[in-house]
Amino acid sequence: MRNPFHAAALALLLAACGAPPARSPATLPQPAAAAAPSGTTYRIDAAHSELRLLVYRSGVMAALGHDHVIINRALEGWVNPVGSPAGAAFFLSLPASGFVVDEAAARAQEGADFSEEVGEDARAGTLHNMLSPAVLDAQSHSSITVQSVSIEPAAGAGQATVRISVAGHESSLSVPFTVDTSADRLHVQAAFTLRQTDLGLTPFAALLGALRVEDQMRIKLDLVAVRD
């Protein structure tokens, strides 16, 4: 232990990792997986795909918390680019329990904001809070789904309107993306900011809000799909 202040900070962080209060009941049942359409369809390659969340600390006692890199690689779904680009469609599903918090290699990739080492207790506490009934409610809503509503294409890029279901709450968002296409493979990337409250989530807070998670987070999606 480095010094007495570190000991006090650790005690406060352990308090912050306690279970947050439960929120009101979810508004929607667990969404069903969308069946892939007939025709030329590409399946998500989970071995080469990931969803990455960059989540930031806030509040007057933010120095006692951490910025987090949260990854989910258990992605499933399909992309159907048949016909005109505007007629393309996709569906993505990922288990709420598939999130991994603060891998050392992932933090190193994200630069100075994430250079601080995060201990196992802190990682476990963050994951516990994420999966709790107050946030993702993973026990009642095991999957998060993303389904296209419409796509506005451009050369090698575009804007997709998507419907996202998280913890029983459904939201519509507009997401920019780039795409690299070959005969048997699609590589789609997206990077954008998003408020947790836009998804119906309440950012975690502790110590009467002195230590809290910022509402706005950074989303990075790296998706590879291969032809069936």
Structure confidence by residue, pLDDT tens digits, 22-63: 444 444 455 556 766 666 689 999 999 999 999 997 656 655
Question: Is 60 exceeded by the pLDDT of residue 135?
Answer: yes
- Predicted pLDDT of residue 214: 84
With 0-12 CB in 10 A as exposed, 13-18 as middle and 19+ as buried, what is 220? middle
For the record, the structure tokens of 157 come out as 């890029």
**pLDDT value, residue 22:** 44
Does residue 85 sit in helix, strand or coil?
A: helix
Which runs of E-coded beta strand occur in the chain? 42-44, 50-55, 57-58, 68-72, 76-80, 89-95, 99-101, 143-154, 157-166, 169-181, 185-195, 205-206, 211-213, 216-227
Which tens digit of pLDDT belongs to each residue from 150-180?
998 877 788 999 999 999 999 999 999 999 9
- Which residue carries 């506005």 as its tokens? 152
Domains in the chain (CATH in brackets) are 40-227 (2.40.128.110)
Distance of alpha carbon 183 from alpha carbon 35, whole angstroms:
23
pTM (whole model) above 0.85 = no
Question: Residue 187 pLDDT > 50, yes or no?
Answer: yes
Is the model's pLDDT at 216 over the cut of 70? yes
> Higher pLDDT residue, 212 or 69?
69
The C-alpha torsion from 51 through 222 and 213 to 174, rounded to 10°, is: -100
pLDDT digits (tens, 9 = 90+) for 72-89: 999 999 999 876 556 789
